[in-house]
Amino acid sequence: MTIEQKILSKLEPHAKRIQDGDGNDFDYLPAVLLQLIEGQKRQAKQLEDTAKLLDSLKSTVDTFGVENKAQITALDSATQRKIDKLETALKDTHIQLQNSQSTITEKIGVLANSHAVHAIQTTEGLSTIGLQIKSFSDDTQQSHVKLVRFLIAGLVASIGMIGLAIVILQRH
């Protein structure tokens, strides 16, 4: 049996008596200590879950980046194939050269604009994800600070309870 299990087995009967309404003044401190230990376990689980969530978000962002690179490469490859076909068609006749030249210029402009818009959207998406991660990190940090304050308040209250118990015992 680990030390933690031994401590929990000693504290649980006091907490049970308090919960059942049969407790006395000596049962409150052990019951509070048991609640603090259980709270710490929950906090540790939440921190672990937060770490898993952050890992998942990082993985998602990495996957998103890889997919975007693949799409850009495919777009570039498709653009290159179209340009090659157009160059072959341009060699056929001089008239087709003049007509095709304006068409190619328009298509390249559209593709460049599309590429620029896609790059801006990707950048904005990654920036938004970064802000969400920062916000989540700030929220986690604030929760941690609040928990520490709560634990300190619980400790002060426990000390007060011990002092009160000592005063009561000295009077009797």
Note whether residue 108 is domain-resident: yes
How many structural domains is the chain composed of? 2
Q: Which two tokens stand for residue 2?
A: 């680990």
Structural domain that includes position 51: 1-58
Mark the ranges of the chain whose per-residue pLDDT is less than 50.
Answer: none
Looking at the fold, whether 78 and 4 belong to one and the same domain comes out as no
- Asked whether the beta carbons of 133 and 57 are under 8 A apart, the reply is yes
87-97: b (≥16 Cβ within 10 Å) or e = eeebeeeeeee
The C-alpha atoms of residue 134 and residue 73 are separated, in whole angstroms, by 30
Taking the C-alpha atoms of residue 127 and residue 146, their distance in angstroms, rounded to an integer, is 28
pLDDT score at 152: 95
pLDDT score recorded for residue 2: 84
pTM given for the model: 0.34
Query: What pLDDT score does 104 carry?
Result: 87
Please state, in angstroms and rounded to a whole number, the distance separating the CA atoms of residues 35 and 48: 20
Are 117 and 145 in the same domain? yes
Residue 7 is predicted with a pLDDT of 81
31-56 confidence digits (pLDDT tens): 888 788 889 999 999 999 999 999 99
| Residue 139 token pair | 């929220």
- 130 and 72 fall within a common domain: yes
**pLDDT value of position 44:** 93
Q: Which one of 39, 58, 77 terminates a domain? A: 58
Q: What is the pLDDT of residue 23?
A: 72
Q: Are residues 50 and 111 in the same domain?
A: no
Residues 96, 130: one domain? yes
- Say if residue 79 is in the same domain as residue 125: yes
